[in-house]
Structure 1
């Protein structure tokens, strides 16, 4: 049996500029952090000759080509795994469709398990790029490269997306005090809405390709916010970082009509009036998690509980995608 895990993530600035439709023309930049909430993949040998895939559905098939789950099918093909005695199961600490990059985490964890089975050594950057190849190229999803890279690499990391497709990354130079203050004062609350990011990202993708000036101006501004957020984090100025989160959210809402709704806007405003210095919706929008930087954690937690929102407490993950068990 092989068990792998990949961390989920939160975006800290510049999100949305990692889509090829934008960075191939202008270059992208963002800061993201992996968190200690995971997607797990187990690989087990079946007794009978069949391929079993367990996720929200159960598949029992005779060949790789017969697998319905597109990522599983393409990952098996990419890694050259044709063993007809294989069982793959996925589990997650937090369900998909909640804005924490679960698809990228799923793909990197799956590829890591299959490469481990094949006894292939693979670097985090190679793992991320293979995951991007599956999701963006083979399956044509209108998504960016952030989720796959931060899942594979982990940490609090700055990413530069070059026009030629290269991705450069480095750990953010954050002091220990800033790291702990950031962990203690960033609070995640589940809105209760799960959604597919595809529709919102497809709108951004299509408008970027059409050189829609409003969309491009929004993304240019968002990229600049990413640079400013990195400077605030590395300078230890977390109040400025919180302010930039708020600016980012106000601009992000203008990107698409599906980005927010009346409930999310109400919860956000209530949080800002009750202990939050800044915040935003994590992920493509439309649901998932609201993240706030708190000036008064106790007041903010009480306010969000009053509104019926569930908090998910987290720490940062600095290991990225890894094998957690093998025998």
Structure 2
């Protein structure tokens, strides 16, 4: 049996500028952090000729080409595997559709387990590019490259997306004390809403392709916030980092009515009044997790508990997508 895991992620500044429709014309930049919350894939050989795949559904097919699940079908095709006599199962610490990049984490964990089955070593960057190729090029999803890259690489990482498609990345130069403060004072709360990122990102993608000036101005502004967020983290100015999160969120939710709703706005305002210096909704918008940087984390926890929101505590993951077990 082979088991792989791939971390989920949070965006720390500049999110949205990683879509090809934007960076191919203007270049993109963002900062992201990998979490110690994971998507897991297990693969083992069976004594039946079919391929058995277990996710939210169960599929049993003669070959991988007949799978309904598009990402799994394309991953087997990319590696030239028919899947016969294999059983593949996926699990996750947190469900999909919650803004933590689960699709990119799933795809990188899947490719990693298939490469491991073939006894093939693959670099994190190559793994990320293969995952992007499947999701963006083969399946046409209107998404960016952030999720696949941060899942494959891990850590707290700054990414530059070049117009020619190249992705440069480096670890954020953060002190140990700042890292501990960031982990202690960044709080995640589940809103109870799940949504499809593709539907929300399609609007951004379409408008970017049409050179919609309002959308381009928003993304230019967001990219600049990404650079400012990096500077705040590297200078250990976490109060400024929190302020920039709030600026980003206020700008983002003004862009589209689908970004938020009355309840999310109420929770956000309540958090700001009860110990949060700044925050935002993680991911494309519309649901998922609210993230806050707390000046008073105990007060904020109590306030969000009063509102019925469940907290997910986390630390950052610095290993990226990896093989956990192979025997």
Rate the CA distance shift 1:196–1:83 in 2: closer, same or farther, 3 A: closer
Q: Which residue of 2 aligns with 1:66?
A: 66
Q: Does 1:161 align with 2:161?
A: yes
Write the distance in 1 (CA, Å) between the matches of 2:80 and 2:255: 40
TM-score, reference length from structure 1: 0.99
Task: Please give the alpha-carbon distance, in whole angstroms, between the structure 1 residues aligned to 2:257 and 2:75.
Answer: 34
**Does the 8 Å CA contact 1:204/1:255 hold for their aligned counterparts?**
no
SS at match of 2:148: helix
Q: Number of matched residues?
A: 327
Structure 1 position 81, deviation (Å): 1.5
Q: How does 1:188-227 map onto structure 2 within 5 Å?
A: 188-227=188-227
Mapped partners of 1:291, 1:24: distance in 2: 29
What TM-score does the superposition give when structure 2 sets the normalisation length? 0.99
Q: Counterpart of 1:113?
A: 113
Deviating 4+ runs (over 4 angstroms): none
The residue correspondences of 1:94-113 to structure 2 (distance < 5 A) are 94-113=94-113
> Whole-Å Cα distance in 2 between the matches of residues 166 and 128 of structure 1?
12
Pairing 1:81-100 to 2, within 5 Å after superposition: 81-100=81-100
Tell me the alpha carbon deviations over residues 16-51 of structure 1, each in whole angstroms, 9 at most, x when there is no partner: 000000000000000000000000000011211000
Structure 2 residue 42 is matched with structure 1 residue 42 = yes
The CA RMSD measured in Å over matched residues stands at 0.5
Once the two structures are TM-superposed, the CA of residue 83 in structure 1 deviates from its matched residue by 3.8
- 1:254 Cα shift? 2.3
Counterpart CA distance in 2 for 1:199 and 1:77 is 26
Cα distance in 2 for residues equivalent to 1:231 and 1:280: 19
What is the aligned partner in structure 2 of residue 326 from structure 1?
Answer: 326
Q: 5+ unaligned residues in a row in structure 2: which ranges?
A: none
1:303 aligns with 2:303: yes
Q: In the aligned structure 2, how far is the partner of 1:56 from the partner of 1:230?
A: 37
Inter-partner Cα distance in structure 2 for 1:44 and 1:119:
14
Cα separation, 1, equivalents of 2:14 and 2:252 = 10
* Structure-2 separation of matches of 1:146 and 1:254: 23
Query: 1:10: which partner in 2?
Result: 10
Corresponding position of 2:243:
243
Indicate if the aligned counterparts of 1:200 and 1:256 stay in contact, CA closer than 8 A: no
Deviation at 1:143, TM superposition (A): 0.2
Tell whether the 8 Å contact from 1:160 to 1:167 is kept in structure 2 after alignment.
yes
Aligned equivalents of 1:44 and 1:255: distance in 2?
47
Q: Secondary structure at the match of 2:259?
A: coil
Tell whether 2:189 aligns with 1:182: no
User: What do the CA deviations read for 1:33-91 (whole angstroms, capped 9, x no partner)?
Assistant: 00000000000112110000100000000011110000000000111122410111000
Partner of 1:22: 22
CA distance in 1, matches of 2:200, 2:30: 19
